[in-house]
């Protein structure tokens, strides 16, 4: 039985993530999210201290950049702390 | 549910900051036991995927939207400790690059969306795994149920934090009701997305789903035993 290699699963998943962030995100709802809406309705939205985004709002380009930055950091951290010798207890 | 700067007062934000740092610290140590040749390559993907899906706000009721939090999804795919790290990285990047979630509120957001959703999502997943028949096909369902519960749970923790250190005087009864209400609806979306994503990986490579491993190991034992018998 041929098994899809881990490499292809990761590359395939990454492609899906890039398409979601780069293309599908254009169709996302622009309504306020649950907490934002509740803060408006319950009268504490004014306590927010807003600040400017470093690379702009979520869009196709910034979304793709975000995906790659997250991939690099999360991939780097987990690569660094992973077990290097899964079959030996002392390592 | 990204909490901006200002919703919670400084002492509360400091406490959630300490809790978040401690949780991430413990996760960095504990994740080592989860990260082997199979999960390590998946962890980066899971974080990147959660970041992408968090951009996809879906409508819940009139004039409100919600998006995936991802704790349950990450926990089932790569393990709870690694999952906590994955979601924390997503929240860090969202806060620093996109100003989505405050800087002083980063600890709060990690407590809500990484710690709470991973913990509740994973425990509910394991609970259903213990109660329901031991079948591989049920893993996405169990993951979806964990995800569904994890979102209103995070909403409850927010209300708790707001009760302690909210910067406005609002009715807590009302706040609890609307927060849990809207986040139960968002939780349904979270459950569906988690069901689909876990189901997709499970269909291609069940061994890459951390939460499915106990079932696979059991199956291997059964196969080996029958070989000996034959």
pLDDT tops 60 at residue A76: yes
Count structural domains, chain A: 1
**The pLDDT of residue A88:** 45
Between the CA of residue A13 and those of B68, B203, B226, what are the distances in Å? Answer: 17, 13, 36
pLDDT tops 90 at residue B51: yes
Which chain B residue has its CA at the smallest distance from A11's CA?
B45
Tell me if A58 and B35 make a contact (CB, 8 A cut-off): no
Range of the domain at A80: 56-84
Write the pLDDT tens digit of every residue in B22-44: 999 999 999 999 998 778 889 99
Give pTM, 2 decimals: 0.93
Tell me if B57 and A67 make a contact (CB, 8 A cut-off): no
pLDDT tops 70 at residue B74: yes
- Kindly state the tokens that stand for B214: 């106990």
Kindly list the residues from chain B whose CB atom is less than 8 angstroms away from the CB atom of residue A83: 32-33, 35-36
Tell me if A37 and B47 make a contact (CB, 8 A cut-off): no
pLDDT tops 80 at residue A22: yes
Contact criterion met (CB below 8 Å) for B139 and B212: yes
Distance CA A10, CA B208 (A): 10
- Kindly state the tokens that stand for B180: 């849990």
**The pLDDT of residue B230:** 46
Kindly list the residues from chain B whose CB atom is less than 8 angstroms away from the CB atom of residue A1: none
Asked if A18 reaches chain B (Cβ–Cβ under 8 Å), the answer is yes
A42 within domain boundaries? no
Tell me if B170 and A69 make a contact (CB, 8 A cut-off): no
pLDDT tops 90 at residue B165: yes
Here the CATH number for the domain that contains residue B75 is 1.10.1760.20
pLDDT tops 80 at residue B49: yes
pLDDT tops 50 at residue B162: yes
Which chain A residue has its CA at the smallest distance from B180's CA?
A34
Q: B31 by DSSP, 3-state: which?
A: helix
pLDDT tops 80 at residue A84: no
pLDDT category at B225 given cuts 50, 70, 90 is: low
Kindly report the average pLDDT of chain B as a whole number.
Answer: 95
Mean pLDDT of A16-39: 97
CB within 8 Å of A24: residues ≥ 6 apart? B56
Tell me if A49 and B5 make a contact (CB, 8 A cut-off): yes
pLDDT tops 70 at residue A85: no
B148 within domain boundaries? yes
B108 within domain boundaries? yes
Asked if A89 reaches chain B (Cβ–Cβ under 8 Å), the answer is no
Mean pLDDT of A48-69: 94
Write the pLDDT tens digit of every residue in B178-195: 999 999 999 999 999 999
Tell me if B56 and A24 make a contact (CB, 8 A cut-off): yes
Phi, psi of B52 (to 5 degrees): -65, -45
**The pLDDT of residue A13:** 97
Kindly report the average pLDDT of chain A as a whole number.
Answer: 90
B107 within domain boundaries? yes
- Residue in A29, A41, A49 nearest the CB of B178: A41
Phi, psi of B58 (to 5 degrees): -110, 150
ipTM score of complex: 0.92
Kindly list the residues from chain A whose CB atom is less than 8 angstroms away from the CB atom of residue B65: 28-34
Distance CA B28, CA A80 (A): 10
Kindly list the residues from chain A whose CB atom is less than 8 angstroms away from the CB atom of residue B4: 48-50
Q: B166 by DSSP, 3-state: which?
A: strand
**The pLDDT of residue A89:** 46
Mean pLDDT of A34-62: 94
Distance CA B143, CA B72 (A): 7
**The pLDDT of residue A90:** 43
- Residue in B28, B44, B64 nearest the CB of A37: B64
Tell me if A29 and B63 make a contact (CB, 8 A cut-off): no
Tell me if B64 and A28 make a contact (CB, 8 A cut-off): no
Tell me if B40 and A25 make a contact (CB, 8 A cut-off): no
Classify residue B8 by its DSSP letter.
B
Tell me if B55 and A51 make a contact (CB, 8 A cut-off): no
Kindly list the residues from chain B whose CB atom is less than 8 angstroms away from the CB atom of residue A59: none
pLDDT tops 60 at residue B56: yes
Count structural domains, chain B: 1
Write the pLDDT tens digit of every residue in B99-131: 999 999 999 999 999 999 999 999 999 999 999
Range of the domain at B42: 10-229
């Amino acid at each position: 039985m041929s098994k899809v290699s881990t490499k292809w699963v990761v590359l395939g998943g990454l492609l899906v993530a890039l398409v979601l962030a780069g293309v599908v995100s254009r169709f996302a709802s622009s309504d306020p999210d649950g907490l934002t809406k509740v803060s408006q309705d319950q009268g504490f939205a004014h306590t927010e201290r807003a600040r400017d985004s470093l690379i702009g709002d979520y869009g196709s380009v910034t979304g793709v950049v975000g995906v790659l930055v997250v991939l690099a950091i999360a991939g780097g951290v987990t690569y660094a702390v992973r077990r290097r010798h899964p079959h030996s207890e002392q390592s | 549910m990204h909490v901006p700067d200002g919703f919670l007062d400084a002492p509360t934000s400091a406490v959630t900051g300490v809790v978040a740092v401690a949780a991430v610290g413990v996760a960095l140590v504990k994740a080592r036991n989860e990260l082997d040749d199979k999960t390590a390559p998946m962890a980066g993907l899971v974080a990147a995927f959660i970041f992408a899906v968090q951009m996809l706000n879906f409508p819940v009721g009139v004039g409100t939207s919600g998006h995936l939090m991802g704790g349950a999804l990450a926990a089932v795919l790569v393990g709870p400790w690694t999952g906590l790290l994955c979601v924390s990285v997503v929240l860090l990047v969202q806060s620093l690059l996109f100003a989505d979630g405050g800087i002083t509120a980063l600890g709060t957001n990690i407590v809500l969306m990484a710690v709470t959703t991973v913990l509740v999502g994973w425990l509910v997943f394991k609970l259903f795994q213990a109660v329901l028949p031991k079948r591989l096909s049920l893993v996405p369902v169990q993951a979806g149920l964990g995800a569904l519960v994890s979102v209103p749970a995070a909403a409850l923790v927010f209300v708790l934090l707001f009760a302690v250190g909210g910067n406005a005087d609002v009715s807590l009864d009302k706040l609890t009701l609307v927060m849990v209400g809207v986040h139960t609806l968002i939780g349904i979306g979270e459950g569906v997305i988690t069901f689909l994503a876990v189901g997709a990986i499970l269909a291609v490579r069940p061994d890459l789903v951390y939460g499915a491993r106990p079932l696979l190991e059991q199956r291997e034992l059964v196969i080996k035993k029958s070989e000996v018998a034959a």
